Structure 1
Amino acid sequence: MGALAIKNVTKSFGDTHILKGIDIHIEAGEFLILVGPSGCGKSTLMNIIAGLEAPTTGEVHIGERIVNNVAPKDRDIAMVFQSYALYPTMNVRKNIAFGMETRGVPKKEQDEIIARVSKMLQIDHLLDRKPGQLSGGQRQRVAMGRALARDPKLFLFDEPLSNLDAKLRVEMRTEIKQLHHRLKTTIVYVTHDQIEAMTLGDKIAVMKDGIIQQFGSPEEIYERPSNLFVAGFIGSPSMNFVECHLAEQGGEYGVSLQSEGDARFVALPNGARLADRIGQKVILGVRPEQIEVAEEGEPGLACKVHLTEPTGPDTMIFTQVNGKEVVARVHPRAARHPGETMRLKLDMGKVVLFDPQTELRLV
């Protein structure tokens, strides 16, 4: 048995079904991200893992045991909350020690643990300060230190960085990842931020409406999204979606793309697998970095630039293909000004196609 197994877990409040059959399994030392929009059920699932809510049906396994009827304090878990949940009248040392004191850990051992985790988190110079004297990042480190002091089987992080400013979020994200690499701890981490999901997780569960839409590695979810929702939710800027009709031309299978002043047939590497769909509508998904500037002599689609957004290392180019707004991520030196034309090509080896009815990926 791995570190965590969630088997067919459902949760209902009266006639409202929050979770609709969740199945997840991770091994010891893995970093699992639960990601999705507000109201998708990720926090409810976290509360069920923690024992703060009971599942309506299904089982939760932590390590070798089913913990459905085990109290939170006996599950060998530690939580880090969005709100830090520090005791304002206690200094940092006492906040970290509080859980150990309630468990009867000897004072000498407490002091050793506090020294170790405070040095690891670079808060050893703050041990005598109270939470009100700390910055948001320092308070979050204290909350993490209190969790680390327990040395549990499972760490639960519930949107721990959402109260921090953008720069501090990036710094804390890096610290959490480094901490995981050093300690090889098992972590379940709830977020609505898909960048956090992509940068932190070994495995990602993308949730919507109480259902896991896709479960896999960041690479799998980014490059082979299972449906339109996952494709649009993961990635910044979002994947472009272009309505097309499948066609056959000169023995090749592909789609026709049209800009405001040009049209071109582009072949799909695996297009023959869709031969039975010729003439049918599909949705072509392509990420901004998969739209490149065509070199001299290369086939490309002449596209009129509507808007540019410089970001420093890249420039976002807004244009239209098949009547839909499309964003391309290009090198600043290759960018053209609004009103000018650029010849663009799609990396057809990386585009994905979706069925417009089922919204599932075809290839």
Structure 2
Amino acid sequence: MRQQHSISIKKVAKTFGTTQILKGVDIEVDPGQFLILVGPSGCGKSTLLNCLAGLETVSSGEIHIGGRNVDGVPPKDRDIAMVFQSYALYPNMDVRQNIAFGLQMRKVAEAEQRTTIERVSKMLQIDHLLDRKPGQLSGGQRQRVAMGRALARNPGLFLFDEPLSNLDAKLRVEMRAEIKLLHQRTGTTSVYVTHDQIEAMTLGDRIAVMKDGIVQQYGSPMDIYERPANLFVASFIGSPSMNFIPVDVQGVGTDAAVVLTSGKSESGMVVRGAALKNHSGKSMTLGLRPEAMQVGGVGGLSAEVRLVEPTGPDTHVFFEINGTHCVGRCAPHDTPRPGDTVNVTIDASRAVFFDPRTGKSV
């Protein structure tokens, strides 16, 4: 297996005219890691990928690939391969010719071309499609061919630009698994752009959550899910989104706590957290993932069910706490009905507290 590239993005900024798209991005990726750039439309993730690819020049800062500063290095000399959402296949060529095109441009010997085509087509299970034209293929098959063409280059770095956006929901899940298996087989350093937080959580070793040209948080999927840096990250990552409940901190020091109530509760539930000890008397926002609010059983808060959403493996149950709409989970065989009174048990160890003025976690 060939050596994989590290990536070092240092204070990278990018301006188009008077509009600053990237605002001092810093990211470090180890060789062989799978980095996800995720965020809403216009956050700068695709611009950053294009700067990595050499399709855009940075306005300031540096990008190093494999320890080499690639400022001014053209895309063809960066040892990268890119997979686009549009597939970008040649319609007049069959699958074999599409995969071989880049090899032919680099004047690779025909025997080596045949070996490479055989290797990547078997890896992607498209060896039975080699004589077909792109117009004869499904969307998933065409995306496999596009990945096969990239694989044939045997690059030190893969760049994926929303490659699954044009596929239906079932195919997206299948191709997501294919891309993860491909990374496990090859170990090639990869950067993947998406606005889909499910893709981000399931594919990445590292995730950079972006907003307005700034990396809001960079870390492992579980770090970002369980310890979000701010309200934006907490709301963007996770489906359903994290619950945000307004609370007032009572008591001081180790006795600091917040109280949760619902319309059906005779008394409130006290939630403590080490983060509260320096915030006595302040208003805070309590963040709880739906799975930290289990519906059913005994104890906890009594709440009236407003809405129920069965999903199959579990059920989302909606209710109000501290006057705020919240969603919890319950087992499918314990699904209540709207209007029922249920017990909501809260896992305080999963609580995250935010400063509502700055949005930052405390």
Relative to structure 2, which stretch is displaced further, 328-337 or 73-82? 328-337
Could you say which residue in structure 2 is the equivalent of 1:289?
291
1:215 positional shift: 0.3
Offset of 1:2 from its aligned partner? 5.8
Offset from partner CA, 1:142-171 (integer Å, 9 cap, x none)? 000000000011000000000000000000
Confirm or deny that 1:170 pairs with 2:173: yes
1:329 aligns with 2:351: no
> Aligned ranges for residues 119-158 of structure 1 at < 5 Å?
119-158=122-161
CA distance in 2, matches of 1:156, 1:256: 47
Alignment partner of 1:56 is 2:59: yes
Residue 206 (structure 1) aligned with residue 209 (structure 2): yes
Q: How far apart in 1 are the matches of 2:18 and 2:85? A: 29
CA distance in 2: counterparts of 1:118 and 1:265, whole angstroms: 59
Is 1:118 equivalent to 2:115 in the alignment? Answer: no
Give CA-to-partner distance per residue, 1:90-112, whole Å, 9 cap, x none. Answer: 00000000001001100100000
Q: Distance in 1 between matches of 2:130 and 2:38?
A: 34
SS of the residue 2:173 aligns to: helix
CA distance in 1, matches of 2:134, 2:296: 56
Secondary structure of the equivalent of 2:229? coil
What do the CA deviations read for 1:296-340 (whole angstroms, capped 9, x no partner)?
3x3x11000011011111111010011110001111222211011
The total of aligned residue pairs comes to 358
Q: Which residue of 2 aligns with 1:349?
A: 349
Aligned residues with identical type, % of pairs: 62
Q: Determine the C-alpha separation between the residues in 2 that align with 1:2 and 1:351.
A: 38
Task: Measure how far apart 1:249 and its partner are.
Answer: 8.8
Say if 1:2 and 1:25, in contact at 8 Å, map to a contact too: no
Cα shift at 1:252:
2.8
| Whole-angstrom CA distance in 1 between matches of 2:32 and 2:139 | 28
Q: Is the Cα–Cα contact under 8 Å of residues 252 and 267 in structure 1 kept in the other structure?
A: no
- Asked whether the 8 Å contact 2:252–2:280 carries over to 1, the reply is no
SS in 1 for 2:111: helix
Partner residue, 1:4: 7
C-alpha distance in structure 2 between counterparts of 1:33 and 1:58, whole Å = 21
Gapped runs of 5+ residues in structure 2? none
C-alpha contact 2:269 2:301 (8 A) present in aligned 1: no
Q: How far did residue 267 of structure 1 move?
A: 2.9
- Which residue of structure 2 aligns with residue 67 of structure 1? 70
CA distance in 2, matches of 1:218, 1:276: 29
| Alpha carbons 1:253, 1:267 under 8 Å: kept | no
Q: 1:20 and 1:250 mapped to 2: Cα distance? A: 38
1:276 alignment partner, SS class: coil
TM-score by length of 2: 0.96
Contact 1:194-1:233 at 8 Å conserved across structures:
yes
> Kindly tell me: are residues 249 and 275 of structure 1, through their superposed partners in 2, closer, same or farther at Cα, counting changes over 3 Å?
closer
CA contact (8 A) 2:260 2:271 kept: no
**Could you tell me how far apart the structure 1 residues matched to 2:340 and 2:317 are?**
11
C-alpha distance in 2 between matches for 1:59 and 1:231: 30
The equivalent position to 1:264 in structure 2, one of 254, 264, 268, is 268
Aligned 8 A contact 2:254 2:277 in 1: no
Aligned residue for 1:137, secondary structure, equals helix
Unaligned runs of 5+ in 1: none
- The alignment yields a C-alpha RMSD, in angstroms, of 1.4
